[in-house]
Structure formats: structure tokens, C-alpha cells
Chain A
Amino acid sequence: DGGITQSPKYLFRKEGQNVTLSCEQNLNHDAMYWYRQDPGQGLRLIYYSQIVNDFQKGDIAEGYSVSREKKESFPLTVTSAQKNPTAFYLCASSIRGKGWGSGYTFGSGTRLTVV
């Protein structure tokens, strides 16, 4: 079955550490996205990529970095510059061009906690 896989499900980070969240899709979608969700709040866009080797900042990109070397993969690195990284992170993908209004397919999320 096609879908999006996020790993790990839970991640703990020490102060000053960089950590990388994995997102892999086998839906042949061109576009991929990273959102952050804080408790009781909506989703805020961190980064997005519409094509391999290209990505753009979203609304809250500071302290985060991404890469898009393969169509299937869009890893998110939470750097030590992100002062409040504890949150739930969701990865999504979508079609571009014809069929663009079909919405997103989401992964199951990664819960990141600073210890």
C-alpha cells in the first residue's frame, strides 16, 4: 500500500543537539511538506518542497533545515538554534499540476521532546 512513513514515532533531544526526523513516501508525489503542531493548536508550515533539489521556507523555518535529494524523501533537521522544539511534527505530500486540489496525505507524525 502507498503511503507516508515518518520515523521515529517518539524522539528525545538534549539541549544543544541536532536531530533529524525522517519522512519517506511511495505515492510518487512531487510535493512534500513539514508542519509543526503545538498542543491544542493548528498546524504551522515549516518547509515545503515541490520538486527534487528545491525547497522553500514556510512560516516558521527558523531553527530548522531540510533537504530533498530524492523524490521519496524529505528529512527535517531540528537544529540547536530552534529554542522551543518540543512539538508534534507532521510530514505530508501532495500531487502537483492536474489534481492539485486533492489535498494532502499525511504521515503519522513524530513527537519530539527536549530533555
Chain B
Amino acid sequence: AQTVTQSQPEMSVQEAETVTLSCTYDTSENNYYLFWYKQPPSRQMILVIRQEAYKQQNATENRFSVNFQKAAKSFSLKISDSQLGDTAMYFCAFMDNNAGNMLTFGGGTRLMVKP
């Protein structure tokens, strides 16, 4: 079974600064996807960014980018120019086609952006 680990339960960052959230996963599969989801206080789950395992290029979405290290099974999220609206729980998640398209989530990192 796949496992996803987020080792930072809580983090804080000053507005306009950069923060990196860590995620590691364990799998024997070669074809899979990785995701970062954001859950603000409204509790709505919002997809932030996704990475295809067979692509070496790191995904980027505006201020959000990932550092995907396939051999190390690491998938960190970098948030640049942090904004107050980035305050939320962030979940790393893993999906492979052999597991019925199920998402396996990490335990989450609570990010606080301070003014």
C-alpha cells in the first residue's frame, strides 16, 4: 500500500516571503500522479498543483511550484510571495492507476501566513 508522509504539522511564514512544504511517499509503482491540495478555513478542498511521475520537469502554477525528486520519492511544494489568503491546511496526495484511481493523502501541514 502507498503511504504519504508530511513531516511538518505546522509552519508559518511572513507575508511576501517564500515557504517550502515537504512531502515524501512510498510506492513500488512507476506510473503515478502527485498532487497538492489546499483546504482553507472554509474546508473546501482546492487543487493547487499536480505532477505526472514520468515528467522530469517540475510543475509550476503561478506562485506555486514543486520540487519532484522521483528517486528520493520526494514532492515538496514551494509557495513564493506568500499571501494572507494562502493560510490553510495543505495536503500532499498520491494516485496510481492500479489502485482504482484512489487518492492517498498525507496528514497535512497547517500553514499560517503572518502579516
A, B in one complex: yes
Q: Which of A40, A44, A96 contacts B101 (CB 8 A)?
A: A96
Complex Cα–Cα for A44 and B102 (A):
11
Contact status A50-B100, CB under 8 Å: yes
The residues of A that contact B45 with a CB separation of less than 8 Å are 90, 92, 104, 106
Q: Give min CB distance, B19 to chain A, whole Å.
A: 19
Complex Cα–Cα for A88 and B44 (A):
11
The total of Cβ contacts below 8 Å across the A-B interface reads 57
Contact status B108-A41, CB under 8 Å: yes
Complex Cα–Cα for A76 and B44 (A):
19
Contact status A42-B107, CB under 8 Å: yes
Complex Cα–Cα for A48 and B101 (A):
10
Within 8 A of A (CB), among B8-36: 9, 33, 35
Hey, what's the 0/1 contact readout for B51-62 against A, CB within 8 Å counting as 1?
A: 010000000000
Q: Which of B101, B105, B106 contacts A100 (CB 8 A)?
A: B101
Nearest neighbor of A44 in chain B, beta-carbon distance: B105
The residues of B that contact A102 with a CB separation of less than 8 Å are 50
The residues of A that contact B33 with a CB separation of less than 8 Å are 101, 103
Q: Which of B43, B52, B100, B106 contacts A56 (CB 8 A)?
A: B100
Q: A44-B105, A45-B102, A101-B95 are in contact. List 5 more A-B contacts (CB 8 A).
A: A42-B105, A103-B103, A104-B45, A108-B43, A109-B44
Which B residues contact A (CB, under 8 angstroms)? 9, 33, 35, 42-45, 47, 50, 52, 91, 95, 97, 100-103, 105-108, 110
**Between-chain CB contacts (< 8 Å), 7 pairs:** A35-B105, A41-B108, A42-B107, A44-B105, A50-B100, A100-B95, A101-B50
